[in-house]
Amino acid sequence: MTTTKRRQIKETGIKLIFLLLSTAAIVIVALIFIFLFREGIPIFKTVSVKEFLLGQYWYPTDESNPDFGIFPMIAGSLIVSFLASLLAVPLGVFSAIYMAELASRRMKEIVKPVIELLASIPSVVIGFFGMVVFAPFLQKTFNLPTGLNVLNASIMLAIMAVPTIASLSEDAIHAVSRELREASYALGANRWETISRIVIPASLSGICTAVILGMSRAIGETMVVLMVAGGAAAIPASIFESCRPLPASIAAEMAEAPVGSDHYHALFATGIVLFIITFIFNVIADYIATKYKQSGTATL
């Protein structure tokens, strides 16, 4: 057998392995998707979609008149994720700009590993920190009845999202061609003008992808919000009130819901809503990233 033929067989085998692995991943995701909808759809025989999504009360275990309204939990998830984004996105992107463009090599060798190390901290540890350390601090500082509230959950989720956003954004900024920077300096631009008008627009697609991955982790995070959000199934009137995001409700109640009951199906339907919210967020973010990848130009 010739060397060329052996190489062709080897390449064909590698392609087949990758095809099987990709197909397996798609099949697994499809099966999860089917199982989620199969277990969640039956609740809509008991309650309408409108009542489920817009209902104000969640009392699934009431024997006489159970309520399955998840609107307060949807609101809690969106509020916590929005506040976490306000904190995590600027911190993550600015940290990436500093590491890629401003920090010395020695400083970068210290800062980047530390930020990446933060990403490896288990969510239960961050939740424990928020519950034991940060909650008493908020309670004492603002004279609150409890420190387990929206603000606490948002800050803990931001801490989890910042390392992902910073690390991936730094890689995207670092990948910008050096010729673009040199051309900018040749035209008389200073360092800040080069960063703001050349580097950031050129790397915006990668930065958007980093934000997608970072905030997707925050939106679907369970343990942190379960531990520090407070668990109140009501729409919070302020950032100092408790809430119960969708993942926390599923995690807190799934173990006590009898299989096949309305409560059981309602929790799976809650998972469907969480899936749809995350999917819409990812589609919008992916559209933004693709748009800037195709038409994002740097201007002086």
Residues 6+ apart with CB under 8 A from 191: 101
Position 300 pLDDT exceeds 50: no
Q: What is the pLDDT of residue 202?
A: 85
The model's pTM is 0.85
Q: What is the pLDDT of residue 119?
A: 80
Q: What is the pLDDT of residue 1?
A: 61
Task: Measure the CA–CA gap between 202 and 173, rounded to whole angstroms.
Answer: 8
Question: Which residue from 50, 70, 136 is spatially nearest to 268, judged by alpha carbons?
Answer: 70
Q: Name which residue leads in pLDDT, 155 or 203.
A: 155
What number is the average pLDDT over the span 45-64? 90
Task: List Cβ<8 Å contacts ≥24 apart for 271-275.
Answer: 271/36, 271/40, 271/246, 272/36, 272/37, 272/40, 273/53, 273/70, 273/74, 273/246, 274/77, 274/219, 274/220, 274/246, 274/247, 274/250, 275/33, 275/36
DSSP string, 147-200: S-SHHHHHHHHHHHHHHHHHHHHHHHHHTS-HHHHHHHHHTT--HHHHIIIIIH
What number is the average pLDDT over the span 104-108? 85
Q: What is the pLDDT of residue 187?
A: 85
Position 298 pLDDT exceeds 70: no
Element (H, E) at 59: strand 58-59
DSSP string, 212-281: HHHHHHHHH--HHHHHHSB---S--SSTTS-B--HHHHHHHHGGGSPTTSHHHHHHHHHHHHHHHHHHHH
Give the CATH fold of the 54-295 domain. Answer: MetI-like fold (1.10.3720)
Q: Where along the chain do its domains lie?
A: 3-45, 54-295
Position 220 pLDDT exceeds 60: yes
Task: Measure the CA–CA gap between 211 and 149, rounded to whole angstroms.
Answer: 24
